[in-house]
Amino acid sequence: MALELKKAAPVLLREVGLDERWLQDRIKDDPSLLGLGDLEIVSREHRQPIGGRIDFLMRNSESYFEVEIMLGAIDESHIIRSIEYWDVERQRRPQHDHVAVIVAEQITSRFFNVLRLLNRAVPMIAVQMSAFRFGDGEIVLHPVTVLNVREQTSDDTDVDAAERVDRAYWEKRSAPGLLKAVDIVSQIVREPRLTWNRGHVAMGSGGYNFCWFYPRRGDNCHLEVRLKSDQRDQAVALLQAAGVDAAPNQTEFITFNISVSAIDKHSQELKEVLEEAEEWSRR
């Protein structure tokens, strides 16, 4: 059957009579709407000792996420509030990692730069939650992660030499799954060059780095891949169609978690994406 083309009109939720409570209810029903993977809601409107309430406190097996949601364009007060909530929760649960998450319908370039600077001190994720209207009775929400917890570097010269470690460092620190993932992905790339750093493992070949591995507990490994901007969405679609929960990040990166077994299962799709990234890194 031929696919039917429908036009979607971008809208602001308030313009169609929907408020922040409506958006919170949708996220409560399905936290995956945030596009941040499998998150469990710990509490909604979570009260803090300072008197404020976090819209959502969420968690996965590794971290807590302090989620602040707003309609319309992001502003200074919501950024400050997100950081305050994050700081209070990390002091209450210092044994866990914490991430500040701010969700808004519009994240302008001015505030994106502010968030990117803050991200160097505060682990932060910014999600632009766009709404599209189909006809008179359907609203589609589309999350795009415009800022992720980690800042990528395209050249090893950006990394302080004091941050360099070796494979033995990661063998002691990480679960075996991480190094298995690094080894398997390395087999996909021609002439891989690995740089072992305290915060991540970077991969390159004949050009700049194009793939980064980040530590995870257990079998999963977090990957970030740098692609030419016009290749990014195609790569995300390819991986998602194969069952890999990939998402765009900034203009030239994609990010996803993957298990060692899934690397074997989706090796062909990963090979296509990494070959594109490796080829562009040489230019």
pLDDT one-digit tens code per residue, 10-49: 889 998 889 999 999 999 999 999 988 888 998 888 776 6
pLDDT of residue 160: 40
pLDDT confidence of residue 67: 94
Two tokens at 178? 């991480």
pLDDT-derived band at 198 (thresholds 50, 70, 90) equals: confident
Tell me the per-residue pLDDT of 248-270, one tens digit each, with 9 for 90 and over: 876 678 888 888 788 888 888 99
The answer to whether 151 and 119 are in contact (CB under 8 A) is yes
Q: What does the alpha-carbon distance between residue 120 and residue 60 come to, in Å, rounded to a whole number?
A: 22
What are the Cα distances from residue 129, in Å, to 23, 141, 218? 10, 7, 30
Answer for the pair 213, 222: CB distance below 8 angstroms, yes or no.
Answer: yes
First to last CA, the chain: 42
Domains of the chain, earliest start first:
9-147 (3.40.1350.10), 156-281 (3.90.1150)
| 136 SS3 class | coil
**Amino acid in the structure at residue 4:** E
Phi, psi dihedral angles at 84 (to 5 degrees): -60, -45
Do residues 73 and 61 make contact, with C-beta atoms less than 8 angstroms apart? Answer: no
pLDDT band at 104 (very low <50, low <70, confident <90, very high): very high
pLDDT above 50: residue 161: no
Report, as an integer, the average pLDDT of 93-120: 79
Long-range contacts from 25-29, C-beta under 8 angstroms, 24+ separation: 26/141, 27/56, 27/69, 28/56
Give the single-character DSSP code of 163: G
DSSP state of 120: T
Measured CA distances, 95 to 25, 42, 168, 180, 216 (Å): 30, 17, 25, 27, 16
Contact 140, 165 (CB under 8 A): no
